[in-house]
A = this chain, B = another copy of it.
Amino acid sequence: MSQTRIGRKETPAHVRPGPAIVLVEPQLGENIGAAARAMLNFSLGDLRLVRPRDGWPNPAAIATASGADFVIERARVFDSVADAVADRHYVLAATARPREMLLPVLSPREAAGEIAARLARGEEAAILFGGERAGLANDDVARADAIVSIPVNPAFASLNLAQAVLVTAYEWAAFAGLHAFAAPAALAETASRKDVDGLADQLVAALDAADYFFPPDKRPVMERNLRVLLARIGLTESEARTMRGVVKSLARRA
């Protein structure tokens, strides 16, 4: 039987469809909170707990959720993995250790692709994460459709529970294209060829006046190199204007 805890709030708009995260026998409330925080950074909001060691609710989980309180508040507690994934169609087991099992082993990116493909045809997914001490039991892994494994340094494999959730959730959001980048606030217009040529003409004239081009037979190559360089920068309109001012100012001093 599942002991479903009804959350106080409806799903907020910034949670998006995606896999449920199932923590199996998690120990420290702090890690549950950190996992919730990791999830919400990548718009996941469905947290499920199987037999949390210290019971539920757990004040330490709220403290470390850093504002992801509603993920904690809406978390549901289950007595078994079977109950926790009963409504899911596709179950992944996150595990670092090789297992003597004939399950496909996916990278987080491949897992995200599988989850997205299933979601597109109306199937829901869950990802199981084991507790801090020993990870998932073999019986829990055997219940999954595939293993998801984060490829880490074999000489230093030391991801904690919340970090494993973080990387997996990050890949999900990246694959699903959920979040845009922090792009520059205003996209400046690129300078036209005319602007760039005008700047180059001005620079060449100023250099001529300063007897820069020497010896004279090298002049065509030197001038061309400068024009290529200016064109390659990809100046914006405003930068081209700035540069014209710079050249003008230097030419005046000379």
Q: Which residues of A contact B (CB under 8 A)?
A: 12-14, 37-38, 40-43, 66-68, 95-103, 105-107, 109, 147, 149-159, 163, 166-167, 170, 173-174, 178-186, 188, 236, 239
Contacts and interface: CB of A to CB of B under 8 A. Distances in A.
A-B pairs with lowest CB-CB distance, top 8:
A14-B155, A151-B179, A98-B182, A40-B156, A149-B182, A43-B153, A41-B152, A149-B181
A175 to B, nearest CB: 10
A181 B151 contact: yes
Contact of A13 (B100, B150, B155, B163): B155
A99 B154 CA distance: 38
A186 B100 CA distance: 7
A178 to B, nearest CB: 7
Given A166-B163, A182-B96, A152 B101 contact: no
B150 A185 contact: no
Contacts of A102: 184, 188, 236, 239
Contact of A153 (B105, B179, B185): B179
A30 to B, nearest CB: 13
A158 B64 CA distance: 12
The A interface, classified by DSSP as helix, strand, loop or mixed, is loop
Given A41-B158, A97-B182, A103-B184, 14 more contacts: A14-B153, A14-B156, A40-B153, A41-B157, A100-B185, A109-B174, A147-B182, A149-B181, A149-B182, A151-B173, A151-B179, A152-B173, A153-B179, A154-B179
A149 B179 CA distance: 11
Contact of A178 (B98, B101, B151, B239): B151
A155 B67 CA distance: 11
A235 to B, nearest CB: 10
A40 B103 CA distance: 28
Given A105-B183, A170-B167, A183-B105, A154 B14 contact: yes
A237 to B, nearest CB: 11
Nearest to A162: B163
A99 B184 contact: yes
